[in-house]
């Protein structure tokens, strides 16, 4: 079984030093409320504003570990014999980590079970309570602590106790090894985010995941899903097997199946267009490496900043739309896939001066099977979410281009209405006649 709950002591485990209520907040000009004397110096150090000799330092790997726990869907617990819950809660408020939505949040906001301020002898009772709340077996709970006496929770309850070094605290290697060992020697790919490489700067975040630079390969990027579990992988393999064979899969109103279907589409489509670099689909664990698409975002060009009704903007954007349709058609003929979400955020452009000369499609999560039989583009029966799949629809080359140009113009100008760049009245009047847009 996968780990269900991960718990930590705080002193000499999450941070170096001890938040001692008999020392902190006792200096000159101390504030009346004990926890108000904690002063954040940087992302790692907190000191006593009344006596700077008192401080704690967060161990370096802690934010990364907390983020990984959240991505895996594991419950986070704090079980500590530190007698000052107020001090520790405040410190955990000052210290931050990235949550599943890739937003930096106080660690305390991610704690599900807070058993701070307990006596060392009460830890067994704390874990009994956590087991009752979480409905997890004790053997699926892991506890990290630098105090060897805490092994009592393993001896008496079966909680997996992991002693960490007082000087090092919890490290990424300690954490990762424990989580992977807990799988019991089964399929390592059942471990969420197994073999995930180091990531660099975040490039963008969407509904399902975040894309990062790849420190070891500038020609690729790494996408990490916001949530993935062992059960997610089992269902992914089932759904992927269906759509890989060209059969439709209907997730109905099941949110989990909808999420996994979109992941499966992206993996299938990236592999088909040759942009999936790792891992193999059957070894997917919640992350992927894909080809980095070169080019320029259209909104970073000078002409895009012109008024949406200006001639220069319309001529410029029409060129971009037709280049995007060229790429959609090319992908159908080469790979048998129709990109179904080619708005301007999902197309990079090669520029010649201030003009786009070639488009490059990215974000293949919403793409469906389609073939060109020499006369018609014929859409397959993939069932996608959030828009009509229009399975079986047939288009001549002219009809197909008109279909996509219409969609792109409406998408762009409706976005301008939402941004209040143009009024709805002017926008919808403008969209009544699109004949000019169809001519290159």
Question: Which residue shows structure tokens 């029966």?
Answer: 381
Q: pLDDT tens digits for 315-349?
A: 999 999 999 999 999 999 999 999 999 999 999 99
> How would residue 37 be classed by pLDDT, with cut points 50, 70 and 90?
very high
- Tens of pLDDT, residue by residue over 78-131, are 999 999 999 999 999 999 999 887 789 999 999 999 999 887 889 999 999 999
Where residue 183 falls among pLDDT bands split at 50, 70, 90? low
How far, in Å, CA of 162 to CA of 251, rounded? 40
**pLDDT value of position 411:** 97
Scanning 33-167, the segments in alpha helix (DSSP H) are: 62-71, 85-94, 123-134, 152-157
**Superfamily (CATH H level) for 5-186:** HAD superfamily/HAD-like (3.40.50.1000)
The phi-psi region of residue 343 (left if phi > 0; otherwise alpha if psi is between -120 and 50; otherwise beta) is beta
pLDDT, one tens digit per residue, over 345-368 is: 999 999 999 999 999 999 999 999
Is the pLDDT at 185 greater than 60? The verdict is no
Question: Is 139 flagged in the annotation as binding?
Answer: no
Q: pTM to 2 decimals?
A: 0.70
CATH of 202-291, one of 3.40.50, 1.10.3470, 3.30.200, 2.60.40: 3.30.200
Sheet with 5-8: strands ordered across: 113-115, 75-79, 5-8, 141-145, 160-163
- pLDDT over threshold 90, residue 189: no
198, 215 Cβ separation under 8 angstroms:
yes
> Within a 13 Å sphere around the CA of 79, how many CA atoms are in the beta-carbon half?
30
**What is the share, in percent, of the chain residues with pLDDT greater than 70?**
99
- The pLDDT tens digits for 125-143 are 999 999 999 998 998 999 9
Q: What is the pLDDT of residues 214-265, one digit of tens each?
A: 999 999 999 999 889 888 999 999 999 999 988 999 999 999 999 999 999 9
Q: To the nearest whole number, what is the mean pLDDT of the chain?
A: 94
The domain spans of the chain are 5-186, 202-291, 296-438
CA 27 to chain centre: 44
How do strand 367-372 and strand 377-379 relate by DSSP bridges? Answer: antiparallel
pLDDT for the residue numbered 225:
93
Q: Is 401 helix (H, G, I), strand (E, B) or coil?
A: helix
Residues 67 and 97: beta-carbon distance below 8 Å: yes
Alpha helices, H only, 77-221: 85-94, 123-134, 152-157, 172-181
């Amino acid at each position: 079984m996968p780990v269900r709950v991960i718990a930590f002591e705080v002193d000499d485990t999450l941070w170096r030093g001890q938040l001692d209520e008999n020392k902190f907040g006792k200096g000159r000009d101390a504030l009346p409320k004990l926890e108000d004397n904690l002063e954040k110096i940087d992302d790692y150090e907190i000191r006593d504003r009344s006596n700077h000799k008192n401080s704690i330092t967060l161990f370096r790997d802690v934010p990364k570990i907390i983020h990984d726990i959240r991505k895996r869907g594991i419950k986070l617990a704090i079980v500590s014999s530190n007698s000052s819950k107020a001090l520790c809660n405040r410190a955990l408020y000052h210290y931050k980590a990235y949550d599943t939505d890739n937003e930096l949040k106080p660690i305390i906001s991610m704690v599900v079970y807070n058993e701070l301020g307990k006596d060392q002898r009460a830890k067994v009772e704390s874990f009994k309570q956590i087991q009752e709340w979480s409905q997890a077996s004790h053997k699926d709970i892991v506890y990290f602590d630098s105090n060897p006496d805490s092994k009592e929770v393993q001896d008496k309850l079966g909680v997996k106790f992991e002693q960490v070094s007082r000087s090092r605290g919890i490290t990424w290697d300690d954490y990762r090894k424990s989580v992977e060992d807990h799988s019991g020697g089964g399929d390592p790919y059942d471990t969420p985010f197994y073999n995930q490489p180091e990531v660099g700067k975040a490039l963008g975040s969407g509904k399902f995941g975040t894309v990062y630079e790849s420190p070891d390969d500038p020609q690729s990027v790494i996408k990490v899903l916001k949530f993935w579990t062992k059960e997610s992988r089992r269902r992914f393999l089932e759904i992927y097997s269906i759509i890989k064979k060209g059969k439709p899969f209907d997730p109905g109103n099941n949110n989990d199946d909808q999420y996994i279907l979109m992941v499966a589409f992206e993996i299938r489509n990236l592999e088909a267009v040759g942009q999936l670099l790792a891992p193999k689909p059957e070894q997917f664990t919640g992350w992927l490496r894909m080809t980095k698409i070169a080019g320029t975002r259209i909104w970073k060009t000078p002409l895009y900043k012109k008024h949406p009704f200006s001639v220069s903007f319309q001529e410029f954007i029409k060129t971009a739309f037709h280049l995007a349709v060229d790429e959609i058609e090319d992908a159908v003929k080469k790979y048998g896939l129709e990109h179904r979400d080619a708005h301007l955020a999902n197309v990079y452009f090669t520029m010649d001066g201030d003009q786009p000369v070639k488009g490059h499609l990215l974000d293949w999560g919403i793409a469906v099977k389609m073939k060109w039989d020499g006369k018609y583009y014929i859409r397959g029966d993939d069932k996608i979410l959030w828009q009509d799949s229009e399975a079986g629809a047939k288009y001549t080359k002219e009809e197909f281009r008109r279909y996509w140009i219409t969609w792109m113009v409406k998408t762009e100008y409706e976005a301008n209405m939402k941004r209040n760049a143009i009024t709805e009245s002017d926008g919808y009047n403008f969209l009544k006649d699109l004949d000019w847009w169809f001519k290159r």
